[in-house]
Amino acid sequence: ILATNNKSKVKEISEMMSGSDITFVSLADVGINVEVEETGTTFEENALLKAREICKLSGKPTISDDSGLCVDYLDGAPGLYSARYSGEDATDEKNIDKLLFDMKNADNRKAKFVSVVSIAKPNGEVYSFRGEAEGEILSGRMGTNGFGYDPVFLSDDLGKSFGVSTSDEKKSVSHRGRA
């Protein structure tokens, strides 16, 4: 079980693991309608909280990802709050708009995507893996591929935004793929 209802995350993780004999399902696919409160202070803590809770509820091995964008100029923000950076009714577009506004005078545009993938098994075993993708925040959107902050993230590895990168290119260097 993937401890998410984010269809983009389910698609991305399923594509990364294509060729394995594992079938990934979302919370909705297995009828779990629970929002695990992310009370941790790190990506690691939040990923483990979600994986353990859904594993406990389902009795099935569970994978959880907690990820976000950490911007040097903003002292690591939006960080843990990347998905709701622009407020309670946050959308990808609103989050990008807020980020670009907050960085309009930035002299340092360095940023990184961080992902921690945690796996909880019914026997109590847990594992966590961290991946990072270094880059910069562009001054405007470039491309429409991906999701979240991808259109404004210039990947150091690719030399272009995740928003113009193909799915295969992004997977080869992404924070989630590395984790």
Tell me which residues are annotated as active site.
66
Q: Which two tokens stand for residue 139?
A: 């001054």
- Determine contact, residues 39/16, Cβ cutoff 8 Å: no
Q: Which two tokens stand for residue 8?
A: 């983009």
Return the CA Rg of the chain. Answer: 16
Largest CA distance in the chain: 51
The separation between the first and the last C-alpha atoms of the chain, rounded to the nearest angstrom, is: 17
Rounded CA separation 126/59 (Å): 14
Rounded CA separation 98/94 (Å): 6
Give the count of alpha carbons within 13 A of 37, CB side only: 1
